[in-house]
Structure formats: structure tokens, C-alpha cells
């Protein structure tokens, strides 16, 4: 920890880059127990209790970390609602951070849907009602002069930060504008970075940019904790973003900025503005694209049809959908599957909720326009509704082999549409990716039934395996947690100055290489239970690609060893009372 960070937190100090570094504690008595980084409750030894003035402040019995973990898990299991489970884990993190991450790491597959999607959506909606203890940094557009001071108040110095996860809360999951409550998505995301990839919990900062909200339910709620005005847009918004990015670079020059759930109109624009000069990453665009690309590559291998021979329909082609299309397009160009960009674009049919993207449509945003079809492409089509080219029209005429849903329109992939697609391709690749489950374009059980078990499926939400005619189909969850933790770890390990498309593609290739989808019913992606292995594998691939492209300030000489050493383990360190 730097001198600056020590000055900011006088209770303790620890080198967050050394796995077995001692925890040096200045605090005594109840102050030790009130700090989640120094508190270990009943696990303090007699010697530690004496040295830290804890005698009589905790029960006499001494408990191991393993037994503490069992006790917490029992409490977790006895809680009846998903929000209740979230609050139980949240309270644990606020009193004992090592124990929280040990519990999370040991039961990651079971707890990931609680601390991340889909439960995090409900927690965000109820943030102002369940608010208990502050965590993260709240930056207001009405007080831009406070950005630097607020970030410094978090207590970390220039060499202490690997990740800053930030949201403006406009595009939260499938629930939209949630104002200041969006801080929970940044906190949840960083929890996954730590549990899955071993990013030290004291090397990250969650941030919410409070630019107001257009959510009338929040503005009319007396308990709402954010700025009480409509969402600021335009030049003032851009200046606020620029001031934030510049300040982060100045204060934490080695940090990657992770953008999360920024609204569609701003997400691509912000990424394009900073990606060449700042180490920045948008998970909704690039993370989603990488994990979907990995699943597509696995599925394409099963079909035996080259990637450039597939016809791809993206339904709900906003930030995530176009991000997927861009990365698949770039993969076609990189591998030589298509010789020109025009040929690659021709493989895609992008559809919004208002219909197929067609040239001349004034509602299209800049990042969507390259995927607009020429009017001649649909000339002569018989449409279900004159003047409107819908999903069924596209499926009937294009005969797609890959159907991707990022629309948040539950049930959009109807039986009629799926059966029409299956008429023209032996192994239809169908990815209903929208979250939460209620907004998925189709359920795996229906897709398998409607295609007689031939569909190759990945979903955004977790679904149970489906049995059909004696085959147990394990459903791949296209969860960004398979990509972003390893990406962040790789960037931190090699000190990458920027995140290139090559690094994103390398992450997808590494993920795809971890699965064997040839067995009937096999998943197209690794399971969440393998997340630490997945993250390490992705991190190595990302760091090596960064070095190849010359954007790594610290190229790895022994990638496996250096990445593994960089992964923090949630274990109680040796204590030195000072």
C-alpha cells in the first residue's frame, strides 16, 4: 500500500500485491471488529486477541475459517427469498471481507445468481429502501468539482488500483434507468472479479455517476437517495464523463476503467471516444460479445459449417447485439473467412423492436447503420404486415443458421419462428440471451422440443438441463463472468495500456478452447463451477496478446506462474499488531 493510502486508512496496512503479506493492524478493540478488512470474528487466536485488545469482545471459542464458512452457508440456505440471500451476503461483506469471499468462492455457482444477475436487479430497484452501509464512490454531475476529492476519499493511492467499475445506471440489466441504485451493479461486478479471478478487494473502486434519473417512480419516492432531477444529457454529460476519465487517469494511472450498464445512446460513443487512449472496457458491448463469440465458435465446430457460411440474425440489435455482430465480423475478417468488410456485413441481419434495419431509417444510431440492409435486399418479400419487416419475415426469407436474441422481449422466438428456422438448417444455433429469465426470447426446453433436440443453445440466464429422447442437454449460460474477470486479471498482470479487439478475441478463443461440445447434449461453454480455471486461462491469453500487440508495460516472462501468483486467495493473513 502506498504512503498516500496509509494516510487515508490508519487502521491497517497490507501489501495487496503480495499473496502472503502480513496484515499490520494499528487499530485496537472494537475498531478492529468494525473494519471488514481487519475483522475475523471468532477466528482470532488467543495471542491476536491479547495483542489487539479483543479479550472479552468475542466469544471464547476459536473457530476456523472453514467452520465460519459452514455457519454462513447454513444461514444463507435458511433464508427463503433471493433478495434476503443477497442482503445476508451483503451484511457479511460489511463485517468480514475475507470470510465473504471465502464463502463466495466455495459456493460460487450457487451464489453468483444472488450477488450478480438476476438478483442484483431487485437489489438495485430497492437500493434506497434497503440502504445500510455506504460502499463505493458516488459522483454527482451537480458537483463535478468533487470528483477528485471523492475518489481520493476512498483511501487508495496511484499504485493501489487495478479496476474502476463505473455505471451511469441508465441501462441496468433489463430494468432500465435506476438512478443512484446502480452502484450495486458496480459492487456486484467487482465482487465477481475478486471471487472468480482473485483481484484483491482493496484494488478496486465501484463508482456510480449520478446524472439524475428519468425514472418517475424514483423521483416521486421520498426515500430516493440520488439527485432529484431528470437525467442530464448532451454537452454537460460529455464534459462530466471526460472529467471523470481524466481524473481517474491522473489519480490511478494503472487502472482499467470498466463501463457497466451505460445507456445505448452513450455506451458505444464513450467506448469509441476513449478506447485508443485509455485502458477501458465496456462489458455490455465487449464482454457480452466475447462470451457469445466463444459459444458460436463451439457451436460452429459442432455443425461442421465454416463461420463464413452462416447467416446470422441479431434480434434486438442495440449495444450488446451490435457488439456481438462486430466481434463475429472481425473474427471473419481476421481468420480470412471473409475477404472484405462488405462481405462480412452481408452475413448479418440486424433487427430492432421496430423491425429490420434498412438504409435511410433516421432512428438508427451511428453504430447500427453499418448493419442496415439496402432496400434491394428485401425487394419482393411478402411481409406479414405491409411496410414492416419483422422477425418472422427475416427468418422466412433469409433462412438463418444463427439466431441471437438481445431484445429483452420475452417469448419473441415463438414456436412458429423456431420451426421455420429449423426447416432450413440441421443444427440451428439459437441464443436467447436476454436477462432476467422472464425476458428471455425462448426457454431451452421449448427450443429443444421444437427442433427435436437439434438446437445448439446458449442463454443469458441460468437454466436447468433438459432431457429429450434419452439425451441430457446441458444449457450453456452465456455469462459475462466467463470473460470479464479473466480479462481484468490479464490486463492487471501485464499492465496493459489499452484493451484491443485482438485481446477481446484472444479471450473468446481461450474460452472456446476449454469446451468439448461434440458429446450429445454437451454445453457450448464451461460451467460457472470452473470459473477460477476459466479466468486464469483467459488472463494468460489476454496478457500474451497484449504483449504481441505491444500494449503491455509489463510483458509476462512466465505467464502461468505470474497470473496464478496475482490471484488473491481469501484466507486470513498473518497479523502484526503495530
Q: Is 193 marked active-site?
A: no
3 state DSSP class of 501: helix
Q: Which of 10, 488, 145 is nearest to 287 (CA)?
A: 488
Dist. CA 275–CA 273, nearest whole Å: 6
Give the whole-angstrom CA distance, residue 314 versus residue 155. 44
Q: Which of 79, 96, 89, 133 is nearest to 111 (CA)?
A: 89
Q: Cα–Cα distance between 110 and 256 in angstroms, integer?
A: 28
SS (H, E, C) 181-219: HHHHHHHHHHHHHHHHHCCCHHHEEEEEEECCCCCHHHH
Spatial distance between the Cα atoms of 235 and 333, rounded to a whole number of angstroms: 36
Active site residue 116: yes
Residue reference for cell 429422447: 469
- The number of angstroms, rounded, from the C-alpha of 24 to the middle of its chain's C-alpha atoms is 33
Q: What SS3 string covers 244-284?
A: HHHHHHHHCCCCEEEECCCCHHHHHHHHHHHCCCCCEEEHH
Q: What is the DSSP letter of 455?
A: -
The three-class DSSP label of residue 489 is helix
Cα(282)–Cα(48) distance, integer angstroms: 44
- The single residue of 101, 107, 116, 274 carrying the catalytic annotation is 116
**In sequence order, what DSSP letters do the residues of 125-188 get, joined into one string?**
HTHHHH--S--SEEEETT-GGGHHHHHHHT---TTS-SEEEEE-STTBTTTB--GGGGHHHHHH
Give me the sheet containing 12-13, strands edge to edge.
12-13, 23-25, 575-577
DSSP state letters, 423-448: TS-SS-EEEE--SSGGG-SS-HHHHH
Which helix (DSSP H) or strand (DSSP E) does residue 114 occupy? helix 108-115
Q: Which residues contact 542 (CB under 8 A, 6 or more apart)?
A: 486, 487, 489, 490, 491, 494, 496, 503, 506, 507, 510
Question: Backbone dihedral region of 471: left (phi > 0), alpha (psi from -120 to 50 degrees) or beta?
Answer: beta
Longest dimension (CA), the chain: 85
Give the SS3 label for residue 108.
helix
String of DSSP letters for 74-104: HHHHH--SHHHHHHHHHHHHHH-HHHHHHHH
549, containing H or E segment = none
DSSP state of 370: G
Catalytic residue among 85, 107, 154, 189: 189
Residues labelled catalytic: 116, 189
Amino acid at each position: 500500500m502506498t504512503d498516500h493510502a496509509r494516510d487515508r486508512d490508519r487502521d491497517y496496512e497490507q501489501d495487496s500485491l503480495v499473496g502472503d503479506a502480513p496484515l499490520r493492524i494499528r487499530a485496537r478493540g472494537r475498531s478492529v471488529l468494525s473494519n471488514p478488512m481487519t475483522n475475523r470474528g471468532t477466528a482470532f487466536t488467543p495471542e491476536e486477541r491479547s495483542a489487539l485488545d479483543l479479550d472479552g469482545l468475542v466469544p471464547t471459542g476459536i473457530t476456523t475459517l472453514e467452520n465460519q464458512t459452514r455457519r454462513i452457508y447454513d444461514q444463507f440456505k435458511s433464508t427463503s427469498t433471493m433478495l434476503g440471500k443477497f442482503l445476508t451476503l451483503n451484511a457479511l461483506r460489511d463485517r468480514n471481507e475475507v470470510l465473504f469471499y471465502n464463502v463466495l468462492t466455495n459456493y460460487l455457482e450457487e451464489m453468483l445468481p444472488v450477488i450478480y444477475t438476476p438478483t442484483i436487479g431487485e437489489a438495485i430497484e430497492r437500493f434506497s429502501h434497503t440502504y445500510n452501509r455506504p460502499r463505493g464512490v458516488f459522483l454527482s454531475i451537480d458537483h463535478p468539482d468533487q470528483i477528485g476529492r471523492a475518489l481520493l476519499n476512498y483511501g487508495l493511492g496511484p499504485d493501489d488500483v487495478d479496476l474502476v467499475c463505473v455505471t451511469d445506471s441508465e441501462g441496468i440489466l433489463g430494468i432500465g434507468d435506476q438512478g443512484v441504485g446502480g452502484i450495486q451493479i458496480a459492487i456486484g461486478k467487482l465482487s465477481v472479479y475478486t471471487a472468480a479471478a482473485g483481484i484483491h478487494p482493496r484494488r478496486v473502486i465501484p463508482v456510480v455517476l449520478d446524472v439524475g434519473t428519468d425514472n418517475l417512480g424514483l423521483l416521486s419516492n421520498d426515500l430516493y437517495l440520488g439527485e432529484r432531477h431528470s437525467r442530464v444529457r448532451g454537452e454537460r454529460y460529455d464534459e462530466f464523463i471526460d472529467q471523470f476519465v481524466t481524473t481517474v487517469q491522473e489519480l490511478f494511472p494503472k487502472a482499467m476503467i470498466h463501463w457497466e450498464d451505460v445507456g445505448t445512446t452513450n455506451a458505444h460513443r464513450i467506448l469509441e471516444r476513449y478506447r485508443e487512449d485509455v485502458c477501458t472496457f465496456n462489458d455490455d458491448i465487449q464482454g457480452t460479445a466475447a462470451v457469445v463469440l466463444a459459444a458460436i465458435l463451439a457451436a460452429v465446430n459442432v455443425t461442421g459449417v465454416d463461420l463464413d457460411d452462416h447467416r446470422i440474425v441479431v434480434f434486438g440489435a442495440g449495444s450488446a447485439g451490435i457488439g456481438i455482430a462486430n466481434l463475429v465480423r472481425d473474427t471473419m475478417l481476421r481468420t480470412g473467412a471473409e475477404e472484405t468488410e462488405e462481405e462480412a456485413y452481408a452475413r448479418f441481419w440486424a433487427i430492432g423492436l421496430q423491425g429490420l434495419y434498412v438504409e435511410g431509417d433516421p432512428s438508427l444510431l451511428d453504430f447500427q447503420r453499418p448493419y442496415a440492409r439496402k432496400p434491394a435486399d428485401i425487394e419482393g418479400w411478402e411481409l406479414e404486415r405491409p411496410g414492416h419487416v419483422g422477425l418472422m419475415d427475416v427468418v422466412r426469407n433469409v433462412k438463418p443458421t444463427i439466431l441471437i436474441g438481445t431484445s429483452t422481449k420475452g417469448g419473441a422466438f415463438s414456436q412458429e419462428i423456431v420451426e421455420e428456422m429449423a426447416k432450413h438448417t440441421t443444427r440451428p444455433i439459437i441464443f436467447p440471451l436476454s436477462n432476467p429469465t422472464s425476458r428471455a426470447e425462448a426457454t431451452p426446453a421449448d427450443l429443444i422440443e421444437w427442433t427435436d433436440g437439434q438446437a445448439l443453445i446458449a442463454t443469458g440466464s441460468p437454466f436447468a438441463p433438459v432431457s429429450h429422447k434419452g439425451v441430457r442437454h446441458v444449457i450453456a449460460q452465456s455469462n459475462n463472468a466467463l470473460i470479464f474477470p479473466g480479462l481484468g486479471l490479464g490486463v492487471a498482470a501485464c499492465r496493459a495500456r489499452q484493451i484491443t479487439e485482438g485481446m477481446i478475441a484472444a479471450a473468446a478463443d481461450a474460452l472456446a478452447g476449454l469446451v468439448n461440445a461434440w458429446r450429445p447434449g454437451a454445453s457450448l461453454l464451461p460451467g460457472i463451477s470452473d470459473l477460477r480455471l476459466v479466468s486464469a486461462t483467459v488472463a494468460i491469453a489476454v496478457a500474451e496478446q497484449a504483449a504481441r500487440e505491444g500494449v503491455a508495460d509489463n510483458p509476462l516472462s512466465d505467464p502461468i506462474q505470474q497470473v496464478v501468483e496475482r490471484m488473491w486467495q481469501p484466507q486470513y493473513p498473518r497479523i502484526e499488531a503495530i
